[in-house]
């Protein structure tokens, strides 16, 4: 047993432990540190008694206060739901137009609509409804099926060319496959394509444009309108034919894409949501889409 001696340099007594000539000084803990340590021990004992603390197999000590974080969360969710219910009931009972006119309801529907949109629609229509090839932009003022609140509501409820009794458009039909179905030959398709390019002030062969105009008048105006303004602008119901004079093409406005569309046709399909989402959700979505920028 080593001797307890005073360290010469610091004047502090050593503990008597020594390793290879190094001695351990016997410095007590600072008082403030020690007291905080005791307070922590006392605090933990009180906490053990008052709050849930110790696991006991499948259960645990509940503590004298009976506090439960889980019940706390359940209660908070119930409170939030009750708060929302007021708005959801109001939304369900009003038309989309009426919701737009009520400042509080509008704010609530917009917030909900944005999150429902991200969940259900953004995969096809892009975040913020910017669209993509075959998926229309919902944030501009070009509408295939109408941009009023009632139109948008109907589109979301029943979809487009979907298997739903009240759908817009017939499943499987849309833009006729003029080439594949043998209605127009290659030359005529080439001509009408140049005519559309010329309408859009793009490079086109004048001789083809003149012939293409006739092809267009004979085959396309019934759906796309006599000015190629699209079925909605031409006042033609239930067709969904886009304008052919524009910059934001559904399938592409360059020569190759135009030829492809006219040769093989297109039939975009939008699912029906009436059976998947409740009415308040669909109305919130209609409000959100209508306010993306292009609502009429």
3-state secondary structure of 16: strand
Minimum CB distance to ligand HEC, residue 88 (Å): 17
Would the annotation count 40 as a binding residue? no
* CA dist list (Å): 121 to 1, 127, 141, 274: 80, 8, 18, 14
Would the annotation count 220 as a binding residue? yes
Sign for the pseudo-dihedral over CA of 37, 42, 45, 46: negative
3-state secondary structure of 6: strand
Would the annotation count 223 as a binding residue? yes
Interface stretch with ligand HEC, choices 40-48, 58-66, 98-106, 149-157 (CB under 6 A): 149-157
Interface stretch with ligand HEC, choices 28-36, 46-54, 67-75, 148-156 (CB under 6 A): 148-156
Minimum CB distance to ligand HEC, residue 69 (Å): 35
DSSP classification of residue 12: P
Least Cα distance to 228 among 202, 205, 198, 255 occurs for: 198
Q: Report the chain's C-alpha Rg in angstroms.
A: 36
Q: Is 289 in the site for ligand HEC (CB under 6 A)?
A: yes
Q: 159 in the Ramachandran plot: left (φ > 0), alpha (ψ -120 to 50) or beta? A: left
How far is Cα 89 from Cα 276, in angstroms, rounded to an integer? 18
How far is Cα 260 from Cα 112, in angstroms, rounded to an integer? 39
How far is Cα 222 from Cα 92, in angstroms, rounded to an integer? 38
- Which C-beta is closer to ligand HEC: that of 176 or that of 229? 176
How far is Cα 139 from Cα 274, in angstroms, rounded to an integer? 22
- Which C-beta is closer to ligand HEC: that of 25 or that of 259? 259
Q: Which residue is nearest to ligand HEC (CB)?
A: 268
Q: Is 143 in the site for ligand HEC (CB under 6 A)?
A: yes
Q: Is 158 in the site for ligand HEC (CB under 6 A)?
A: no
- Which C-beta is closer to ligand HEC: that of 14 or that of 131? 131
Q: Which of 91, 105, 109, 156 binds ligand HEC (CB under 6 A)?
A: 156
Pick out residues in 120-139 that bind ligand HEC (CB under 6 A): 120-121, 123-125, 134-136, 138
Phi, psi of 230 (to 5 degrees): 95, 155
Mark 170-189 with x for binding to ligand HEC (rule: CB under 6 A) and - for no binding.
----xxx-x-----------
Are 267 and 173 within 8 A, CB to CB? yes
Tally of CB atoms within 10 A around 211: 17
Q: Which of 88, 96, 109, 258 binds ligand HEC (CB under 6 A)?
A: 258
Per the annotation, binding residues for heme c are 121, 124-125, 175, 220, 223-224, 270
Per the annotation, binding residues are 121, 124-125, 175, 220, 223-224, 270
Residues that bind ligand HEC (CB under 6 A): 120-121, 123-125, 134-136, 138, 143-145, 152, 155-156, 160, 174-176, 178, 192, 219-220, 222-224, 239-242, 244, 249-252, 258, 261-262, 266-271, 273, 285, 289
């Amino acid at each position: 047993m080593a001797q307890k001696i005073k360290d010469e340099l610091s004047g502090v007594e050593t503990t008597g432990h020594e390793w290879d000539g190094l001695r351990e000084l016997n410095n007590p803990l600072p008082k403030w540190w020690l007291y905080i340590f005791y307070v922590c021990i006392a605090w933990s004992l009180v906490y053990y008694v008052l709050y849930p603390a110790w696991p006991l197999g499948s259960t645990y000590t509940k503590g004298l206060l009976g506090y439960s974080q889980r019940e706390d969360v359940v209660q908070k969710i119930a409170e939030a739901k009750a708060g929302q219910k007021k708005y959801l009931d109001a939304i369900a009972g009003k038309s989309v137009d009426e919701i737009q006119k009520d400042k509080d309801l509008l704010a609530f529907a917009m917030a909900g609509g944005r999150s429902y949109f991200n969940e259900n629609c953004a995969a096809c229509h892009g975040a913020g409804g910017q669209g993509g090839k075959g998926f229309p932009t919902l944030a501009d003022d070009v509408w295939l099926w109408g941009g009023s609140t009632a139109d948008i509501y109907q589109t979301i409820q029943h979809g487009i060319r979907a298997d739903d009794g009240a759908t817009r458009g017939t499943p499987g039909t849309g833009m006729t496959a003029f080439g594949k179905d043998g209605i127009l030959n290659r030359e005529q398709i080439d001509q009408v394509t140049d005519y559309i390019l010329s309408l859009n002030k793009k490079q086109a062969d004048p001789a083809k444009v003149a012939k293409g105009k006739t092809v267009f008048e004979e085959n396309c105006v019934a759906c796309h309108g006599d000015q190629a303004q699209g079925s909605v602008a031409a006042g033609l119901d239930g067709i969904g034919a886009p304008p052919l004079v524009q910059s934001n093409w559904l399938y592409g406005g360059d020569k190759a894409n135009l030829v492809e569309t006219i040769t093989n046709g297109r039939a975009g399909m939008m699912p029906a949501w009436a059976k998947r989402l409740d009415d308040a959700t669909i109305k919130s979505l209609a409000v959100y889409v209508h306010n993306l920028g292009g609502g009429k």
